[in-house]
Structure 1
Amino acid sequence: MKSSHNPRLRTLTWGALPLVVLTAAATLDHIPGTNISLTVPYAAEGPGPTVDTLGMADGVEVVEISAQDEAGITIDDPAGQLNMTTVAVRTNMTLVQALGRWIGSGDTLVPIEAIFPKGHSEEEVQEANQIAFSQSESAATLVAMDYLQLPVHVEVAGVAEDSAAAGTLEQDDILLALDGKKITQPQQAQEVIQAKKPGDKLQVTVERAGKELHKTVTLKEHPETKGQALLGILMITVPDNGLEVNYNLEDIGGPSAGMMFTLAVIDKLSPGDLTGGHFVAGTGTIEPDGTVGAIGGIVHKVRAAKDAGAELFLAPADNCAEAVSRSTGDMVVARVEDIEDATQALEDFAAGRPVVACED
């Protein structure tokens, strides 16, 4: 991130609350010669940048897909745009700066606890958002592969220090089964673990360097949830058949890009153009079953998409009323409950048919 003119006034950019660093006005944020702060306990939320998930960022593809020749998979280069949208969040503002954002830009002011909950540091919140972003990437891959009827497996992306899995499981292990139950997605593994108690034994079957291994792990207690068992691994969904999907975005976190990532993967791995060559933007979390979930800051994301020139905006059904509470101009705002709704909206819009739209 770049430094702003006032290093204490900056903009965080995460997926549900993407953060971008912007230049701040040269306004005193403390009484000269003292440590007494003049900042207000509020943050300003406004439109953030939009990123084409079918395009490039910093010289690399945002959604990068590769496949081995023997896999027989064709990777398309779609026309049109599928832009994820973000919310810019400004913190550490003086009263004058906060009022300026509210009156002059249409930003909304929210209590600072809505961005950084009490008892959690900025670093902890950023780490949590990065984990959520990683999980949304994994879910996007899983849902896209399921939509395209392509096989996947669950891989260990990391092992927490001093966890039950430390010293037994390793990064890049392929998780095959837990207690004899076949694992094909992270949610299945979580269900097995959640059914156990701290101190219980867990039989783990993994594939490592081409060999099947059987391990026994004694589960520990979750540090934040008393009585809940914890294995201590980060899992991701990985396609089979030599297909590899990577997501290349920095300084963005949170889960709200999940749906747009899913659509980008589907578009690149299927013939033709999902968008029909149109400029489409949207937002929404993605669950492993394909459900599209609500997000925060929808009015700012809609505004960012409209200002960028989007023709169609895909909005989670639970955000619909708020999404069209302000003028959307000529941009159509479609109501989406799951990935099937999203692809249907794209198909209908590309064919010139009416879409299921949000209503105010």
Structure 2
Amino acid sequence: MRRLARVLLSGQVLFVVGVAVLGFALIVAIVPSHKYLFLPDPAHPVAPLVRVTGGSDPTDGGGIYFVDVQTRKATILESFAPSIHKGADLYSPAAVNPQNVSPITLRAEDLADMRRSHDVAAAVALRSLGEKVRATPNGILITGVDPDAPAAAVLYPNDVIVAIDGAPTITLNALARVMNGKKPGTTLSLSIRNARGLSTVRVKTVNHNGQALIGLAIEQDATIVLPRKVSIDSGDIGGPSAGLAFALDIVEELGRDVDHGHKVAATGEIFLGGGVGPIGGIKQKTYGARRAGVDVFLVPAGENGTEARRYAGSLKIIPVKSFQQALRALATLYGGTQ
């Protein structure tokens, strides 16, 4: 009898322990942590998203592809073992949202960046075909910030500088004139426009060979008027990193053989002058390009190119600095002409 009681008690203990272990496993597998997980997403064809007056989708079996990154809160389990997903990376909230704005505001900024990339991609593509695009300067777009400069605490990519110490800086020449009169170490008052509206920030300049610098990479921002209608439906995808892919597809749809019948993935922010800038999530985007089975992947030159090659496997990586270089690289690779 005592033996039977001990057996029953042991069984109950094992049951309780089993339930507790199962409950713990469910918690760590389902409950989100405070960290974020970046996951690869297979590259998507651009043509279904783009409509150009006078253009048509290519039918040569190739196509231009864009890549994005799936971002979500990591579960407790994933926060300790992100490698259970191939190609995934874990990021802190500060890395994902350095400005510490609300999720709604952050999402609005991402979508605004994507809309700007639509206009700029169309302008660059049509200009490459010899069409007249009107671009009215309206400020200086920040494309990068030196992490060691004081500006890194208050300025961010995609902010637009419209004035310094009250003097308008609508064009790059205007900005140069204003900065030429400043001494290193001077604290400037910058008027900034972004998705949240207008604001003013104070920034201390740094000394570079006796010249006052803020520590920024910049491009001309402008209001763009196109000679023909171009619409791009990117849905709820945010950010500017698909700009290069959009521009390549627009040129392809207007009759130039860009892909030469091959599947070409591309990523990179594109600027009004035709330059291609760095983007985030290049590791996940390289895995996404591989999963889609594309033939070649165009990426921004520099650190993006180096990292993409690290995860490319047999996928051919072509780093580019400009839209024209991307067109030339594809023409050379596949024996075509521009």
Is 2:187 the partner of 1:194? no
* Aligned counterpart in structure 2 of residue 253 of structure 1, from 222, 238, 241: 238
Q: Corresponding residue for 2:265?
A: 281
Displacement after TM superposition at 1:190 (Å) = 1.7
Letter in 2 for 1:263: L
CA–CA separation in structure 2 for the residues paired with 1:98 and 1:119: 21
Cα distance in 2 for partners of 1:108, 1:278 equals 30
When the two chains are superposed, the root-mean-square deviation of aligned CA atoms in Å is 3.1
Residues 210-238 of structure 1: per-residue CA shift (max 9 Å, x gap): xxxxxxxxxxx65432489xxxxx96423
2:308 is equivalent to residue 323 of structure 1: yes
SS at match of 2:324: helix
Q: Which secondary structure does the structure 2 equivalent of 1:145 belong to?
A: helix
Deviation digits for residues 225-254 of structure 1, max 9, x if unmatched?
Answer: 2489xxxxx9642312xx100001211010
- In the other structure, the counterpart of 1:112 is 93
From 340, 349, 354, give the equivalent of 2:324: 340
Q: Secondary structure of the equivalent of 2:116?
A: helix
Return closer, same or farther for 1:256/1:125 CA change in 2, 3 Å cut-off: same
Q: How does 1:1-360 map to 2 (within 5 A)?
A: 27-28=26-27, 39-54=32-47, 56=48, 62-66=49-53, 74-78=54-58, 79=60, 80-91=62-73, 93-117=74-98, 119-153=100-134, 184-185=135-136, 188-190=137-139, 194-195=162-163, 222=192, 223-226=198-201, 236-240=223-227, 243-271=228-256, 273-318=257-302, 319-329=304-314, 331-351=315-335
Whole-Å separation in 1 of the counterparts to 2:85 and 2:138: 49
Letter in 2 for 1:81: G
CA shift for structure 1 position 193: 8.2
Please, what TM-score do these two structures have when normalized by structure 1? Answer: 0.62
Separation in 1, partners of 2:305, 2:161: 36
Change (3 A) 1:193 1:292: closer
Equivalent position amino acid for 1:189 in 2: N
1:77 corresponds to which letter in structure 2? Answer: D
CA contact (8 A) 1:27 1:94 kept: no
Name the counterpart of 1:170: none
Q: Is the 8 A contact 1:45 1:109 kept in 2?
A: yes
Does the CA contact (< 8 Å) of 1:75 and 1:268 recur in 2? yes
Q: What percentage of aligned pairs have identical amino acids?
A: 28
How many residue pairs get matched? 249
CA distance in 2, matches of 1:291, 1:148: 16
1:163-214 superposed Cα distances (whole Å, 9 cap, x missing partner): xxxxxxxxxxxxxxxxxxxxx34xx2226983576598x9xxxxxxxxxxxx
Q: Which runs of 5+ in 1 are unaligned?
A: 1-25, 31-36, 57-61, 67-73, 154-183, 203-220, 229-233, 354-360
Taking structure 2 as the reference length, the TM-score comes to: 0.66
Specify the structure having the higher radius of gyration (Cα): 2
Q: Which amino acid aligns with 2:237?
A: I
Match of 1:171 in 2: none
User: 2:271 & 2:167 partners in 1: Cα distance?
Assistant: 30
Deviation at 1:152, TM superposition (A): 2.1
Please tell me the residue identity of whatever aligns with 1:87.
V
Maintained 8 Å contact 1:141/1:237: no
Shift of 1:135: 0.9
Task: Confirm or deny: 8 A CA contact 1:140 1:259 kept in the other structure.
Answer: yes
Amino acid at match of 1:96: L
Q: CA deviation at 1:327?
A: 4.1
User: Counterpart of 1:194 in 2: which secondary structure?
Assistant: strand
Offset at 1:304?
0.8
1:116 shift after superposition: 2.3
For structure 2, the residue ranges without an aligned partner over 5 or more in a row are: 1-24, 141-159, 171-190, 193-197, 204-220
Measured after TM superposition, the shift of residue 285 of structure 1 is 0.3
